[in-house]
């Protein structure tokens, strides 16, 4: 079953790779071409650039490429890993989109469950890789699963086009994969309640004020140069110091047990008939999760869809 699923994944990925040219001059590219890499400081700093047009949907291919990359950062004897990874995007409108909701439509096949588990593994790698600092350089939308991945990184910096939102409550779900458990510690319980329960979005200045973003920069150039300068500065110092700081501050993370508990509560919500109907309608009104006005206007478009009874 797993072998068949993997073969299918490979076949459709080959088509996808042919269609999509990467705009960045990269030193290397991930298996499905969804992430391009550039290194500096002799490999101490890596820029990992997401690129999955048109909306950087977090689909099976993005998940697989992210998993492979994060897996490659695991420390091993005599292995050199980057001290800093900066995630950015080749898409001016999107840092990372939401999860490919086809993958939570029933029936929940082995393939879909494998992709889901790989998402969870990605988040676990972000949390347990203590020898590399992860920085999200956000200058576009980071929505749903995109926001859940961003919020688990060590630092987030925002540019003029940044917009972050966990909009899942508006479709009868919740921000799984860490989105809810991390927002509380990052911005405080009452504000996390406001932004999660009401499916609100943070723009750059608001996110900075509330502590979601370390710093907001008015221009794209300033964002990129300041983040690069920070990464290069961190990379001057020994990796064992970095590792110890990450191990220490990881104590502030929600426990793995609490993250697992939240996931266990998410699955039954996903299975509710009314939420399955909402997801199907969402896929329809978003133009099949493509570059539609609906996608560009999440979370407001999704809130409006609830008001107008579109999801019923």
Ligand X SMILES: *[C@@H]1O[C@H](CO)[C@@H](O)[C@H](O)[C@H]1NC(C)=O
Among 17, 24, 38, 41, binds ligand X (CB under 6 A): 41
Among 240, 252, 257, 268, binds ligand X (CB under 6 A): 240
Among 15, 78, 236, 273, binds ligand X (CB under 6 A): 78
Reference 144, options 112, 173, 186; nearest CA is: 173
Cα–Cα distance, 261 to 118 (Å, whole number): 17
Reference 179, options 215, 207, 153; nearest CA is: 153
Does 124 engage in binding with ligand X (CB under 6 A)?
yes
Cα–Cα distance, 306 to 296 (Å, whole number): 17
Binding residues for ligand X restricted to 158-177, rule: CB under 6 A: none
Does 25 engage in binding with ligand X (CB under 6 A)?
yes
Does 243 engage in binding with ligand X (CB under 6 A)?
yes
Structure tokens at 217: 């920069």
CB environment 188-224: b (16+ within 10 A), e (fewer): eeebbeebbeebbbbbbebbbebebbbbbbeeeeebb
* CB closer to ligand X, 190 vs 236: 236
Among 75-83, 174-182, 274-282, 297-305, the segment contacting ligand X (CB under 6 A): 75-83
Residue showing the smallest CB distance to ligand X in the complex: 124
Cα–Cα distance, 122 to 241 (Å, whole number): 24
Which residues fall within 8 angstroms of residue 217, CB to CB, at 6 or more apart? Answer: 157, 158, 159, 160, 204, 223, 226
Burial degree of 80 (CB within 10 A; 0-12, 13-18, 19+): exposed
Does 39 engage in binding with ligand X (CB under 6 A)?
no
Does 131 engage in binding with ligand X (CB under 6 A)?
yes
Per DSSP, 213 falls in state S
* CB closer to ligand X, 219 vs 290: 290
Among 121, 226, 275, 297, binds ligand X (CB under 6 A): 121
Task: Find the helix or strand (DSSP H, E) in which 38 lies.
Answer: strand 35-40
Structure tokens at 285: 């009104």
* CB closer to ligand X, 57 vs 187: 57
Among 45-53, 103-111, 128-136, 215-223, the segment contacting ligand X (CB under 6 A): 128-136
Among 52, 89, 91, 130, binds ligand X (CB under 6 A): 130
Among 126-134, 136-144, 164-172, 304-312, the segment contacting ligand X (CB under 6 A): 126-134
Among 23, 75, 92, 188, binds ligand X (CB under 6 A): 75
Residues interacting with ligand X, by CB under 6 A? 25, 41-42, 75, 77-78, 121, 124-125, 128, 130-131, 240, 243, 247, 288
């Amino acid at each position: 079953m797993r072998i068949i699923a993997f073969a299918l994944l490979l076949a459709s990925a080959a088509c996808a790779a042919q269609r999509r040219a990467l705009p960045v001059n990269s030193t290397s590219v991930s298996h499905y071409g969804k992430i391009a890499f550039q290194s500096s400081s002799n490999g101490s700093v890596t820029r990992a650039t997401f690129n999955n047009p048109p909306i950087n949907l977090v689909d099976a291919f993005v998940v697989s490429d992210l998993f492979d990359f994060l897996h490659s950062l695991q420390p091993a004897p005599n292995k050199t890993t980057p001290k800093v990874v900066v995630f950015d995007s080749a898409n001016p409108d999107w840092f990372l989109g939401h999860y490919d909701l086809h993958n939570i439509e029933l029936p929940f096949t082995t393939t879909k469950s494998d992709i889901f588990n790989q998402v969870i593994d990605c988040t676990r790698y972000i949390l347990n890789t203590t020898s590399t600092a992860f920085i999200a350089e956000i200058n576009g939308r980071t929505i749903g699963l995109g926001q859940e991945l961003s919020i688990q990184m060590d630092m987030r910096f925002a540019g003029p086009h940044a917009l972050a939102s966990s909009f899942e409550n508006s479709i009868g779900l919740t921000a799984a994969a860490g989105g809810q458990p991390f927002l509380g510690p990052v911005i405080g319980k009452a504000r996390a309640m406001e932004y999660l329960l009401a499916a609100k979005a943070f723009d750059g200045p608001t996110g900075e004020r509330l502590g979601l973003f370390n710093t907001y920069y008015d221009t794209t150039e300033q964002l990129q140069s300041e983040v690069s300068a920070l990464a290069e500065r961190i990379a001057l110092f020994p990796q064992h110091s970095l590792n110890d700081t990450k191990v220490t501050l990881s104590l502030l993370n929600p426990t793995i047990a609490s993250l697992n508990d939240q996931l266990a509560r998410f699955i039954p919500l996903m299975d509710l008939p009314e939420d399955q109907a909402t997801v199907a309608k969402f896929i329809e009104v978003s133009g099949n999760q493509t570059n539609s006005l609906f996608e560009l206007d999440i979370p407001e478009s999704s809130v409006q869809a609830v008001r107008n009874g579109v999801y019923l």
